[in-house]
Amino acid sequence: MHLNFNAVPALIALAILVAVFAAISRHHSRERVRLWLAGWILVLLRAAVQFVNPPRPGGLRLDLAIGLSALELASTAFVVSVAPKASTVRRQLLLALVVALPAVIYTNTMVWGVESPAFYYSLTAAGCLAGLFILWKWYRKITTYGVAVAASILLVGVLVGWSIAAGRSDYGVHIILAAINFFAAAMFWYRLRRNSAGVLATVFGFFSWGASFPTAILLRTWMPGAKLDVEIWDIPKYLVAIGMIVTLLEEQILESEHLAYHDALTGLPNRRLLQDRLLQAIAHAARSGRKVAVLLLDLDDFKGVNDTFGHRIGDGVLQEVVGRLSARLRAADTIARTGGDEFTVVSEVVDPQGAQTLVWALESALLLPLRVDRRTVKLSVSVGYALFPDDAADPGELCALADRAMYVAKHGGESLNSADTTY
């Protein structure tokens, strides 16, 4: 056994990265992080192989086969982690199989000296057809994304076919590794679509990682005497890893900011964000001469739903209620969850009749029973409202008047939900 101590720094760095991603995965619920961990473990395996048996003339082919296969499997894991339609474990396994199996078979047959162009052509065609079939099966329609992916698959097939025709099946391995990393870069960008430091670093890292394989071919062909340090080839890997970690930190910050202004169960604005939206609506209405309706909604007998079916069903009912209420509102309206079964709506209207029409629309949203987890739940809603500037100009007073109107409506008193009501 020959040890390559030049590979020790990279081995240590990758081991630390694996430990970091393992720690992150224990506290992160997204499947994406676990796939990233699997990918970095495979990259670490390749580094371990290079340390134990470094590349050398007459070296063991098993080392090369394991190292290249580990790289292909790692890149496949990264692709699957951000593939738009790979949302279930079954789909993830299917996509991984379609991407990795032809690549690994091609690589191993090349490493072990199989010389059969017909076999390589057949394997390449089968891999391309499998990729196109999955694309059609999952999308079933022509989209810009689908056309781009299909064209990329065909291009990879053509380039690998060219390498076979040129008698350089080893070039095919470089093309496959480059293609998988380019796919990872493109899908990472397509899936996240943020101009953030983490996303841009990861995308550029994957692109650079993919570009390193054809670059190696060009250097070997045109500059056979050129020698680049191993550290230079490893830069794209570390850039990808750093980008992934920064991306997770950015997502954590965005999630924390979202939770500071939104309800965790329904995703609706909370009281804090509602106050800001209400102030904006009042300011806009004051400039345009319109009115602002503040509606307070309370679900009738919702406590009975929790008592009868449990809180899990109760949470599902709330989410269904939000969906129905939101469907009756305009995009410019705001609906916020301001209590356990209480919601507040802010809407600009032309006159009091517009507010009353909105009340009727929201009440009618719950006329039909709700179906949650094979259970039927019948609910109604009590609504009260107040108008700016007719009833009050102060946001707090508007909400208080709407609450008072809702209370009267809920307890069967004379309705305050009418255009001619005085407060």
Same domain, 253 and 367: no
Same domain, 49 and 162: yes
> What is the spatial distance between Cα 137 and Cα 128, in angstroms, rounded to a whole number?
14
- Kindly state whether residue 332 falls inside one of the protein's structural domains: yes
| Cα distances (Å, whole numbers) of residue 373 to 315, 377, 418 | 11, 10, 37
Give me the pLDDT at residue 418, please: 38
Range of the domain at 230: 5-260
- Kindly state whether residue 175 falls inside one of the protein's structural domains: yes
- Kindly state whether residue 423 falls inside one of the protein's structural domains: no
Give me the pLDDT at residue 348, please: 93
Same domain, 104 and 11: yes
- Kindly state whether residue 418 falls inside one of the protein's structural domains: no
Same domain, 62 and 148: yes
Instruction: Choose among 329, 423, 330, 350: nearest CA to 385.
Output: 423
- Kindly state whether residue 202 falls inside one of the protein's structural domains: yes
- Kindly state whether residue 420 falls inside one of the protein's structural domains: no
**Confidence class for position 121, pLDDT limits 50, 70, 90:** very high
SS3 track for 306-374: HHHHCHHHHHHHHHHHHHHHHHCCCCCCEEEECCCCEEEEEEEECCHHHHHHHHHHHHHCCCCCEEECC
CATH of the domain at 373: 3.30.70.270
Q: Is the pLDDT of residue 83 over 70?
A: yes
Contact 384, 408 (CB under 8 A): yes
Same domain, 54 and 174: yes
Q: Is the pLDDT of residue 226 over 70?
A: no
Contact 231, 9 (CB under 8 A): yes
Q: pLDDT by residue (tens digit) across 24-62? A: 988 887 789 999 999 999 999 998 988 886 555 555 578
**Confidence class for position 280, pLDDT limits 50, 70, 90:** very high
Tally of domains within the chain: 2
Question: Residue 3: what are its φ and ψ, rounded to 5°?
Answer: -100, 135
Same domain, 141 and 64: yes
Same domain, 385 and 252: no
DSSP, collapsed to helix, strand or coil, labels residue 244 as helix
Query: Distance between the two ends of the chain, CA-based, in angstroms?
Result: 90
Question: Residue 289: what are its φ and ψ, rounded to 5°?
Answer: 75, 15
Same domain, 316 and 221: no
Give me the pLDDT at residue 29, please: 74
- Kindly state whether residue 416 falls inside one of the protein's structural domains: no
Q: pLDDT by residue (tens digit) across 349-383? A: 999 999 999 999 999 999 898 888 888 889 889 99
User: Would you tell me how many other CB atoms lie within 10 Å of the CB of residue 93?
Assistant: 12
| Cα distances (Å, whole numbers) of residue 294 to 284, 392, 423 | 14, 11, 14
Domain boundary among 260, 295, 317: 260
Q: pLDDT by residue (tens digit) across 229-260? A: 666 778 999 999 999 999 999 999 988 988 89
Q: Is the pLDDT of residue 282 over 70?
A: yes
Pair of tokens at residue 263: 């309800």
pTM of the shown model: 0.78
- Kindly state whether residue 197 falls inside one of the protein's structural domains: yes
Give me the pLDDT at residue 51, please: 82
